């Protein structure tokens, strides 16, 4: 099952296990991590998942676990593979290490963290892995088109930082829509601080009587995005999930899409 919201586990270090467990308890069923110790503590995610399953909070098949292969240049010295191995071997080593960290037998979505110099070899190796879905992150329209053209197993997900000023990644989202790819948006709040201060945005928040974060996530949902949140606050976790009982009008969606700032400061 593909979730409607994903809890992101970046930058949580020794708090990763506690916060991931809290997120599962709050109701998140999608979890995003990466085998990139520089920004993620994948083993902490695995400990949280194992604990939640052991304690009967959730069953494995109710969870959607997503992790990533990260090229050498995105890693620090804590590598999940042999830096001298060929790219395909690195993918297999990183994947095996992810299974160990996550304490599971299967991963739902495996994402190429960002394009690099060996995308064909890397993607071919990813295609041979026993995963349900593949994805690509931090990708431009041009890079996505190229990958989509050579992929035998097409990406099911694109995960990008989503800037309001680019129409919320309008070109990439349009390609995704045309190809049946689900667009995962991150930094929906932090990449758009100016836009979220605009009068146009504040007017929408006032009308629907929700928090600004809820309006952004609701907007994301209404335009077909699968949003990520990495909040560390249990109250925010509950609020982020509680966006099913209100709706933006098509006019409000239009104002949001067009980038907000030009509608007033
Ligand atoms: N593929 C990639 O390269 C990549 C890069 C970056 C991120 N990601 C993924 O995306 C996830 C989310 O990252 P993000 O960049 O979107 O930012 P984030 O880590 O979720 O940060 C959001 C910030 O907004 C604040 N905030 C205030 N109210 C909030 C609310 N109601 N809900 C959520 N946040 C609220 C949070 O503070 P509080 O903690 O106090 O709520 C936090 O400081 C990451 O954990 C990671 O899984 C992927």
Separation CA 65–CA 56 (nearest Å): 17
HSE toward the beta carbon, residue 146, CA cutoff 13 A: 11
Look at the alpha carbons of 70, 5, 191, 233 in this order and tell me if their dihedral is positive or negative: negative
Atom of ligand 1 nearest to the CA of 191: 15
Residues with Cβ within 8 Å of residue 80, at least 6 apart in sequence: 35, 36, 37, 93, 94, 97, 98
Cβ density class 144-156: b for 16+ within 10 Å, e for less: beebbeebeeebb
Q: Is the CB of 187 under 6 A from ligand 1?
A: yes
Verify whether ligand 1 is closer than 6 Å to residue 26 (CB atom): no
What average pLDDT does this structure show over 3-8?
A: 98
- Answer whether residue 259 shows pLDDT above 80: no
Q: Is the pLDDT of residue 254 over 50?
A: yes
33 CA from centroid of ligand 1 (Å) = 12
Residue nearest to atom 8 of ligand 1 (CA): 186
Measure the CA angle with vertex 56, ends 54 and 60; round to 5°: 75
Tell me if 9 CB under 6 Å of ligand 1.
yes
Confirm if 193 and 164 have CB atoms less than 8 A apart. no
Mutate to test the pocket of ligand 1, among 8, 34, 215 (most ligand atoms within 8 A of CB): 8
pLDDT per position as a tens digit, 119-167: 999 999 999 999 999 999 999 999 999 999 999 999 999 999 999 999 9
- Ligand 1 contacts CB of residue 8 (under 6 A): yes
- Residues 68 and 31 sit within 8 Å (Cβ to Cβ): no
pLDDT value of position 103: 98
Q: What is the mean pLDDT of residues 223-234?
A: 98
Distances (CA, A) of 85 to 2, 118, 216: 33, 13, 43
State residue 61 phi and psi, 5-degree precision. Answer: -75, -5
8 A C-beta contact, residue 162 and residue 169: yes
Q: Closest ligand 1 atom to the C-alpha of 34?
A: 47
pTM, entire model:
0.97
Judge contact between 255 and 204, C-beta under 8 A. yes
* Mean pLDDT rounded to a whole number for the chain: 97
Task: Tell which atom from ligand 1 comes closest to the C-alpha of 160.
Answer: 1
Quote the ligand 1 centre to 187 CA distance (angstroms): 6
């Amino acid at each position: 099952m593909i979730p409607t919201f994903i809890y992101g586990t970046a930058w949580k270090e020794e708090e990763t296990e506690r916060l991931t467990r809290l997120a599962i308890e709050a109701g998140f069923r999608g979890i995003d991590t990466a085998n990139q110790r520089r920004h993620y503590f994948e083993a902490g995610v695995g400990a949280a998942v194992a604990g939640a399953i052991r304690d009967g909070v959730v069953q494995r098949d109710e969870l959607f676990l997503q992790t990533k292969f990260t090229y050498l240049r995105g890693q620090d010295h804590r590598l999940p593979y042999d830096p001298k191995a060929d790219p395909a071997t690195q993918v297999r080593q990183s994947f095996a290490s992810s299974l160990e960290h996550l304490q599971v037998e299967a991963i739902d979505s495996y994402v190429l963290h960002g394009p690099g110099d060996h995308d064909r070899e890397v993607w071919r190796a990813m295609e041979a892995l026993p995963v349900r879905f593949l994805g690509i992150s931090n990708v431009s329209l041009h890079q996505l088109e190229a990958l989509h053209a050579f992929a035998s197993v097409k990406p099911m997900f694109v995960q990008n930082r989503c800037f309001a000023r680019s129409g919320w990644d309008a070109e990439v989202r349009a390609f995704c829509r045309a190809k049946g790819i689900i667009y995962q948006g991150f930094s929906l709040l932090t990449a758009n601080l100016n836009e979220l201060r605009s009068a146009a945005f504040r007017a929408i928040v006032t009308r629907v009587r929700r928090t600004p974060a809820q309006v952004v996530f609701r907007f994301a949902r209404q335009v077909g995005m699968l949003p990520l949140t990495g909040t560390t606050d249990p109250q925010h976790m509950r609020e982020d999930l509680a966006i099913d009982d209100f709706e933006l009008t098509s006019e409000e969606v239009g104002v949001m899409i067009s980038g907000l700032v030009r509608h007033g400061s």
